[in-house]
Chains A and B, each alone.
Chain A
Amino acid sequence: MDNLLFGDNQFFGVNHMSEDKARAQAMRFQSTDAIMSVLDDAYDAGVTTFMCTTHDRISDIADRVRQNPDRYDRQSFYPCMPYAHKYSNAMAEAGIFGAIKQFLPDGGFLDAAMRGGRSLATKDIEGIITLLVDSEMKMFSGLDTPVVFLQNVVVDFLLGMGFNDAFRIFADHVSAKYGAEPGFITMNMPRLLDSLDAVGIGNPIVCSNINKLGFRMSGGIESYLDSLENRRFRAIAMSIFASGAIGPYEAIEWVASLPNIESIVFGASSRANIESTVELVRKFWPAR
């Protein structure tokens, strides 16, 4: 993995600090051109991995990249699935199985699995999970996707329930079918490491908030630092600026001082911010 990955929250009106800022960004990035122009800036600054949700609009980005293979020959995608609001809105409207059915490429599978009122067998659950993954991966067809992530809402929901087998099913499927490494985004990193251990997912790629403020580092910043020091996993730090609450210099200096972090994922909306982040990472992570 590169030491800097480009995130996509800024493109879809996600800001953990201010709803006004989020709205302003959503307006600015209504057109695919506006997004592409920032992605081009990142690419030209050497940040060629786009870690993105499976938001419907990402398929337009994927199309552009497919259409210009020479321009984007080093571009890779780390899909993060699913785009949770898509599912939660559908769930409020159609219930849990109704929502799953909407997103399965073949709704008949679920009907068949549930026909006659028999219980869902293990292979049915595997089937549902893998079909959902496939439907989210469709937009990346033909593109380089070396790591595929499960989003934090789903990871943490499963983690709380103790549904650890789902992590195993996901990991096996993305490596078998897409030749990709599985990744997990979480707001509960130390606890997730235990669960991944329990289902035999060794040295996992885990992306979590890691910032000087301790913002959204559940269980406490100390437990995170302890995990970085003592656990075997490949850490990606996100929210290092705590949505703008920490200045870039201070944020990157602090993250770079921690052990065992392999990558930082960051979002930016301007060439200047992308380039200054690249500069700071070069300065504080000279060995990389």
Chain B
Amino acid sequence: MGLSHFSIINAHDDVKVVGVCDSSGYILDVLGKYTGVQTYTDAGKMLESSDVEAAVISTPSKFHAPMVRDCLERGIHVFCEKPFCLDPADSRALAALAQERGLVTQVGYHNRHLSTFREAKRLLENKALGRVTHVLGEAYGPVVLKPKGGTWRSKKNEGGGALYDYAAHPADLMTWYFGRPESVSGTVLGKVLSSETEDEVYTTVKWSNGISGQLSVNWSDESERKMTTRVSIWGTNGKIVVDRQEIRVYLRAADQALSDYPNGWTVRYTTELTGEVDFYVRGEEYSAQLDTWVNRIARQDIQGEADFYQSSVTDELLFAIINSADGALRTLEGADETVRGDTSGEPGFWDRLKQRRRGRGFKVA
């Protein structure tokens, strides 16, 4: 999806793309010739060659950790595609490094920028469902429909497979809504058509406050026209079912603070909930997530939706799932380590950053 990131961020009024790096010389040739952007095949050379303030990293997942580290060490803000890091120890270390350097980070969990999923978040924060008892996170779609695949997505050790590609989305919504789970169990990583990687992910998730959850994912489901992500949440006061287009809420007793949700069913659609974006390629959420990150950089706002700290919790959940393929109970690691440290940053850092500012220039890798 690197090219669509390039398209979206290149169209952003506050951003100048100063370089694109890719391993395909053909793509770079075409981009250079027809869009005039400076191109590189070596990310290090790109970062050295001109003033870079921020980078978008959209590579196979196994390269995320070293590339993100390189950028952070050079004082560059980072947007990284999901999943953030395959090893949550890297995720935590990089989150800490970014905070220490006062850099603005974000991971491409675009569902957090969809109006329907945000509305569910708002309702949960207002305790609309009372005490939540259970959450079901689902994702289905037509990715692997034939018994082979030639890209890195079909290679397990490169972060391919339905877990990192598909399950990451509902898993992230679950950690966004309810925080770090305590454990996973009963995991099934099933194969439908792939030989190396899983096409199905089923697991039971538990939180320390008593919430239980289930994840149900299948990317060999041809009945779906495209990826469908849905979260259903049950609580003592009702239920929420939310997907990218609509939110359906059933409340036993309406809450005065949520006057637009009476007793019984309320259905609201994306057409009503979604604000416009400045530039649209393939869904408001893809534009909104990059715009959010750019605006956070402008405000030097190092804490935000799907920043490295938040995303490392999702990485821990995915890591626990992949390491519980035998179905046994597995406790999430790093619970104590991923507590966000002091967020005041180094004194004088912003002053240094301001001196360093040279107008906005973004490099896209």
Residues of A within 8 A of B (CB): 12-20, 22, 26, 85, 89, 92-98, 114, 117, 119-120, 122, 125, 153, 156-163, 165-166, 187-188, 191, 213-221, 242-245
Q: Are B225 and A160 in contact (CB under 8 A)?
A: no
On whether A157 and B4 interact (CB within 8 A), knowing A22-B225, A92-B151, A125-B34, the answer reads: yes
On whether A19 and B276 interact (CB within 8 A), knowing A85-B225, A114-B26, A119-B26, the answer reads: no
Distance in angstroms between the alpha carbons of A179 and B295 in the assembled complex: 46
Q: Are A12 and B225 in contact (CB under 8 A)?
A: yes
Distance in angstroms between the alpha carbons of A263 and B225 in the assembled complex: 29
Q: List 8 A-B contacts (CB under 8 A).
A: A93-B143, A216-B276, A218-B276, A218-B278, A219-B278, A219-B279, A221-B276, A242-B271
Q: Are B280 and A156 in contact (CB under 8 A)?
A: yes
Q: Are A245 and B10 in contact (CB under 8 A)?
A: no
Report chain A residues within 8 Å CB of B142.
Answer: 89
Q: Within residues 110 to 158 of chain B, which ones have a CB less than 8 A from any CB in chain A?
A: 142-146, 149-151, 153
Q: Does B269 touch A at the CB level, under 8 Å? A: yes
Distance in angstroms between the alpha carbons of A220 and B278 in the assembled complex: 7
On whether A218 and B280 interact (CB within 8 A), knowing A16-B245, A89-B142, the answer reads: yes
Distance in angstroms between the alpha carbons of A92 and B143 in the assembled complex: 7
Report chain B residues within 8 Å CB of A125.
Answer: 30, 33-34
Report chain B residues within 8 Å CB of A216.
Answer: 276, 280, 284
Residues of B within 8 A of A (CB): 3-4, 6-8, 10-11, 24-27, 29-31, 33-37, 142-146, 149-151, 153, 225-226, 228, 243-246, 269-272, 274, 276-282, 284, 287
Nearest CB of chain B from residue A196's CB, rounded to whole Å? 15
Distance in angstroms between the alpha carbons of A160 and B277 in the assembled complex: 13
Report chain B residues within 8 Å CB of A17.
Answer: 245-246, 269-271
Nearest CB of chain A from residue B170's CB, rounded to whole Å? 15
Q: Are B25 and A19 in contact (CB under 8 A)?
A: no
Chain A CB within 10 Å, residue with most, of B29, B145, B271 = B271
Q: What's the A-B contact tally at a CB cutoff of 8 Å?
A: 132
Q: Is the interface of A mostly helix, strand, loop or mixed?
A: helix
Report chain A residues within 8 Å CB of B272.
Answer: 213, 245
Nearest CB of chain A from residue B173's CB, rounded to whole Å? 16
- A12, A13, A166, A191: the one contacting B279 at CB < 8 Å is A191
Report chain B residues within 8 Å CB of A98.
Answer: 150
Nearest CB of chain B from residue A224's CB, rounded to whole Å? 10
Distance in angstroms between the alpha carbons of A221 and B270 in the assembled complex: 17
Report chain B residues within 8 Å CB of A215.
Answer: 271, 274
Nearest CB of chain A from residue B192's CB, rounded to whole Å? 15
Q: Are A153 and B281 in contact (CB under 8 A)?
A: yes
Chain B CB within 10 Å, residue with most, of A22, A98, A114, A157 = A157
On whether A157 and B151 interact (CB within 8 A), knowing A117-B25, A215-B274, A217-B276, the answer reads: no
Report chain B residues within 8 Å CB of A244.
Answer: 271
Nearest CB of chain A from residue B4's CB, rounded to whole Å? 6
Q: Are A153 and B245 in contact (CB under 8 A)?
A: no
Chain A CB within 10 Å, residue with most, of B3, B8, B36, B276 = B276
Q: Are B276 and A18 in contact (CB under 8 A)?
A: no
- A120, A160, A191: the one contacting B7 at CB < 8 Å is A160
- A89, A119, A220: the one contacting B276 at CB < 8 Å is A220
- A89, A188, A245: the one contacting B271 at CB < 8 Å is A245
Distance in angstroms between the alpha carbons of A160 and B151 in the assembled complex: 26
